[in-house]
């Protein structure tokens, strides 16, 4: 049985052009005012806990793959990390740029494919994605592993995978 293909570049582009809430960011420097802001704040808190145990420090190079609005990258940028946001959709890259500019945050922005990243081996310190991998049939293939200096993953071991 053939499964339908989800997450193609044209679908993502169309989705971001038509979303009414596209310019809303889930990042806030203040206290979260809704559940989604609280969820992103909790993601940031978890990253801080993980980075405290690993080889990370302020000023490291961060890549968010499938960045969407870049809400989590806003936290990294606000904390002084050098962020690059990558997405297959030019429309969402423009949205993310606008959000960063409005909040006086710094980042680099690139249009690109998670399966063919334009980064040299071991050139990145932190690579993450929120809400991207579910669009791939094989989540171990996409993106990043060659680019990370100290690779680790929160993905489950083969025996722990529910699929």
Domain membership flag for residue 42: no
User: Do the beta carbons of residue 85 and residue 141 sit within 8 Å?
Assistant: no
CATH number at 90 reads: 3.40.50.150
Which range of 35-39, 138-142, 150-154 scores highest in mean pLDDT? It is 35-39
**Count of beta carbons in the 10 Å neighbourhood of residue 96:** 28
Domain membership flag for residue 18: no
**Predicted pLDDT at 71:** 93
Domain membership flag for residue 71: yes
**Predicted pLDDT at 7:** 58
Interval 7-46: pLDDT, tens: 566 766 676 666 667 777 889 999 999 999 999 999 999 8
The label of the residue with tokens 């423009």 reads: 94
- The sign one gets for the Cα dihedral 33, 35, 36, 39 is positive
The answer to whether residue 158 scores a pLDDT higher than 70 is no
Chain-wide mean pLDDT for the chain?
Answer: 76
The token duo for 68 is 């969407």
Domain residues for 163?
59-163
How far is it, in rounded angstroms, from Cα 24 to Cα 150?
33
**Predicted pLDDT at 93:** 95
Domain total in the chain: 1
Domain membership flag for residue 5: no
Domain membership flag for residue 99: yes
Domain membership flag for residue 112: yes
């Amino acid at each position: 049985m053939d499964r339908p293909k989800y997450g193609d570049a044209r679908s993502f582009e169309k989705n971001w052009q038509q979303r009414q809430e596209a310019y809303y960011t889930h990042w806030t420097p203040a206290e979260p005012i809704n559940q989604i802001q609280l969820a992103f704040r909790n993601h940031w808190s978890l990253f801080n806990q993980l980075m405290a145990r690993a080889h990370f420090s302020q000023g490291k190079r961060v890549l968010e793959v499938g960045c969407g609005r870049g809400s989590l990258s806003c936290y990294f940028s606000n904390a002084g990390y050098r962020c690059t946001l990558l997405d297959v959709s030019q429309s969402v890259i423009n949205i993310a740029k606008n959000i960063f500019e409005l909040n006086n945050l710094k980042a680099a922005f690139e249009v690109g494919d998670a399966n063919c990243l334009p980064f040299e081996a071991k050139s990145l310190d932190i690579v993450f994605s929120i809400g991207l991998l579910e669009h791939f049939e094989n989540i171990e293939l996409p993106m990043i592993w060659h680019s990370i200096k100290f690779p680790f993953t929160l993905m489950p071991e083969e025996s722990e995978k529910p699929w």
